[in-house]
Amino acid sequence: MIYADKSDKAMNKCVNFEDTLYILNVRIRMIKDLLRLDIESYLFYHQTIKDIEFISSTLDTMTEKFLTNINFLDRETEADNILDAEWQFSQLLNEITNNSPYSPKFYPESTLCIEKLRKDSLNRKKQIEESSISAEQILSVPVVTHAELNELLGSAKNQG
C-alpha cells in the first residue's frame, strides 16, 4: 500500500509499505545467510551490526507511519505484514545470539545492542497489536444503536 507522508515539508513523499517490507525481509535473509557461511567474522561484524540497526530503525519508521495513518484501506493486512517482518527480525536476533559468529560468546559487546534491538522490536509489536485491537473495537461499535434505529424508522412510518 502506498500513501503520502504529509510530514515532509519539502514535498509529499510516498511510502510503499509492501516494497519496503519486502526489501527489509531480503536484508534479514541476507544476514541470516551470512551467519551460516564460514567467513572471517571480524571483517563483517561492524557492518552486520549497522545493518541490523538499520533494519530496526526502518521498522521503527514503518511502525510510526502505520500507527499515525488510520486511513489504510486494508489496515489488517498491513499490520500482518509489519508483524511478519518483526517476527523475521526477532528470528534473526535469536540466530545472532545463539552460536553465530557474532554471538556474545565471541563478541561480548554485542549483548547490549542485541538486547536493545530485541526490546525495541517487542515494543513495536505491542504497539501494532494494540492499534489493531483499537481499530477493531472502533469498527464493531455501531454508529446508530438499535434503539435509535427503531425510533428513526418508527418516526418515519408515522410521518409517511
Q: How confident is the model at residue 146 (pLDDT cuts 50, 70, 90)?
A: low
Secondary structure class of 3 (helix, strand, coil): strand
Among candidate residues 39, 75, 56, 73, the one with its CA nearest the CA of residue 121? 56
Instruction: Copy the grid coordinates of residue 117.
Output: 534491538
Q: What is the mean pLDDT of the chain?
A: 82
Residues 44 and 50: their CA atoms lie apart, in Å, by 10
Question: Are residues 66 and 83 in contact, defined by beta-carbon separation less than 8 angstroms?
Answer: no
Question: Are residues 33 and 45 in contact, defined by beta-carbon separation less than 8 angstroms?
Answer: no
Q: List the domain boundaries for the chain.
A: 2-141
Q: What is the dihedral of CA 17, 23, 25, 27, to 10 degrees?
A: -150
Q: Among 42-51, 64-73, 93-102, 105-114, which range has the highest average pLDDT? A: 42-51
> In Å, how far from its chain's centre is CA 128?
7
Residue count of the chain: 160
| pLDDT over 70 (residue 149) | no
CATH 1.20.1050 fits domain 2-141: yes
Average pLDDT over residues 56-78: 87
Question: Are residues 56 and 64 in contact, defined by beta-carbon separation less than 8 angstroms?
Answer: no
| pLDDT over 50 (residue 119) | yes
Question: Which pLDDT tens digit goes with each residue over 11-50?
Answer: 335 568 889 999 999 999 999 999 999 989 899 999 999 9
Q: How confident is the model at residue 105 (pLDDT cuts 50, 70, 90)?
A: confident
Who has greater pLDDT, 159 or 43? 43
Q: What is the CA radius of gyration of the chain?
A: 22
Residues 62 and 158: their CA atoms lie apart, in Å, by 53
Question: Are residues 135 and 75 in contact, defined by beta-carbon separation less than 8 angstroms?
Answer: yes
Instruction: Copy the grid coordinates of residue 143.
Output: 454508529
Q: Global pTM? A: 0.74
Average pLDDT over residues 51-56: 98
